[in-house]
Amino acid sequence: MWDPSTYLRYGDERSRPFHDLVARVPAERPRAVVDLGCGPGTLTATLAGRWPDSRISGLDSSPEMIARARALGRVRGLAAGTGVLEPVAFAVGDVRDWQPEPDVDVVVCNAVLQWVPGHQDLLTRWAGALPAGASLAFQVPGNFAAPSHRALREVAGRERWRDTLAPLLREAPVEEPVDYAALLVGAGCAVDAWETTYVHLLPAAGADHPVLAWMEGTALRPVRAALDDAGWADFRAELGVRLAEAYPVRQGQVYFPFRRIFVVARTGARAEENL
């Protein structure tokens, strides 16, 4: 379902929330760091720069993403003259099945949990399994009420596509920051929770509307996988019209507000120690 090249079309914009999240992780010398839902590995590799003495690993359910991540490691190793992989181990796996090893002191989960129904239970389980003082840091998109996603659900709700696509699209797959904070404080964590709305300035170049091109890398992946070529062409054409109405081109670009929700939880801390 995942195409690394499509996902990386807007690499700078997609990477900024990751860096903003990791910047708030207080760990100085973690023994092991795990990036759950690591995608193509480009951001996971930066964790080795932040914590050079730590064991870094990345997990993703997409074999295509992990193949790209491993290739990136080989290229970086050759560029350094070592001919070996960077100090990051990548593996295919489902975050729902993941269990932390005893030395995992930092878990990063960037733009993944929105795909996992019931991920609140996962967060509680991870918080209880991590060692005291570990950091659980995650970021999820909070833009499901935005015009882009309303248009997606409206087109998917048309009679032609309703039966196929309705089960794939949820209106509220994530919680609000206060709800995540309450959940993890209840699990015995100190919590730093916040939200940020980025205004991405997307160049309007080419035939496709830039928000449509953005969504093809993430939100539209299940839709593309469920439709045949003809159905997909018709779907994206209709969605493109609606997106052009919702996000007009101004000064040669589209102004695309994107809300993100961030949480950094430290395990084994009293509630009054909240960050």
Mean pLDDT of 236-259: 96
Three-state DSSP class for residue 100 = coil
The span from the CA of 217 to the CA of 52, in Å, is: 31
What the chain holds in terms of domains, given with CATH numbers, is 4-31+103-273 (3.40.50.150)
Q: Is the pTM value of this prediction over 0.75?
A: yes
pLDDT digits 0-9 by tens, 49-106: 899 999 999 999 999 889 988 887 654 444 444 444 456 899 999 999 999 999 999 9
- What does pLDDT average to over the chain? 89
Bridge partners (DSSP) of residue 30 are none
What are the b/e assignments for 129-167, b being 16+ CB within 10 Å? Answer: bbeeebbbbbbbbbbbebbbbebbeebbeeeebeeebee
The sign of the torsion formed by the CA atoms of 153, 156, 162, 163 equals negative
